[in-house]
A = this chain, B = another copy of it.
Amino acid sequence: MSVTRKAVVLLSGGLDSTTALAIASAEGFEIYAMSFQYGQRHALEIESARKVAAAAGVAKHLVVDFDMRAIGGSALTDEIAVPKDRLDNEAPAEIPVTYVPARNTIFLSFALAWAETLSAEDIFIGVNALDYSGYPDCRPEYIESFERMANLATKAGVEERLRLKIHAPLIEMTKAQIIKTGLELGVDYSLTHSCYDPTREGLACGRCDSCLLRLKGFAEAGARDPLPYASA
C-alpha cells in the first residue's frame, strides 16, 4: 500500500477507452495514457484523447505515430466505404470491414514496451466482446493469450520480478452498462468521440455502426448523449 501503482491505459478518445481509463483511475492507479496516430482518416480521435487525458489529470500522455496505410486492409485506414444506417438485424456475422488487421495486438505491444520501461505491471484496454463480437481481437481468449505471451516477452516476466496483467474491464459489459459505469465515475462524454465518419466540421454522423451503437447505449442507459450529431 506504499507506492502508487502505475498503469498504461490505451486511450483512443472514444467512449470505451475513456471509461476504461476512469475505471483504472478509480482503482487507484497512476495513469500513463497511450494513443496512436496511425493514418486514421481524421485526427479528431487524437484531439479527443488529448482532452480526455487532460481532464483525467494523467501522469503522462504518449502519442505514438506509425503508418497503417502502408499495410492496408481496413475501411478505417483505406478508402473502403464505411457502412451506414444498418439495422441491428443487418449486423454481419462475419468480421466487419472496419476491422483493422492486428490493431489491438500492435497497440498492446507498444503498451507492453512502455509498461516495461515504467516498471508497470498493469495495462488497461477498453475492448468489448458484446458490441464488437465480429472483432477477433476483442474476445476474452485473445486478451488472455496476449497476457501469457507478454509475460514471456519481457524482462519482468522472465526474471519474475513483475507479473503483467492485461485488464479489459469492459469486455463483458453492454454499451449501456459502460455508459452507466462511466457516468457514475464522473466521465465527461462530451470530450469523447466515437464516429467512424465525421463531417468536415468534426460532427459525428449519427449513422455509422459506431454512432448507432453509442446512441442506442445512451438510450438504454436512460441518459442523454452530450455530443452534437450531424443528422440529429
Contacts and interface: CB of A to CB of B under 8 A. Distances in A.
Interface of A: 62, 64-68, 70-73, 94-95, 99-106, 108-110, 112-114, 116-117, 136-137, 139, 141-142, 145-146, 148-150, 152-155, 157-159
Contacts of A68: 113
8 contacts: A62-B70, A66-B66, A94-B159, A95-B158, A105-B109, A136-B157, A137-B154, A141-B152
B136 A113 contact: no
B154 A149 contact: no
Contacts of A116: 73, 101-102
A99 B145 contact: no
Contacts of A70: 62, 64
Chain B CB within 10 Å — which of A104, A105, A112, A142 has the most?
A: A105
A67 B157 CA distance: 24
Nearest to A108: B109
B110 A106 contact: yes
Given A66-B64, A101-B112, A149 B142 contact: yes
A207 B194 CA distance: 53
A71 B149 contact: no
Contacts of A112: 101-102, 105
A150 B104 CA distance: 11
Contact of A113 (B106, B139, B142): B106
Contacts of A71: 62, 64, 110, 113-114, 117
Given A71-B117, A73-B116, A116-B73, A154 B65 contact: no
Nearest to A142: B152
Contacts of A100: 113
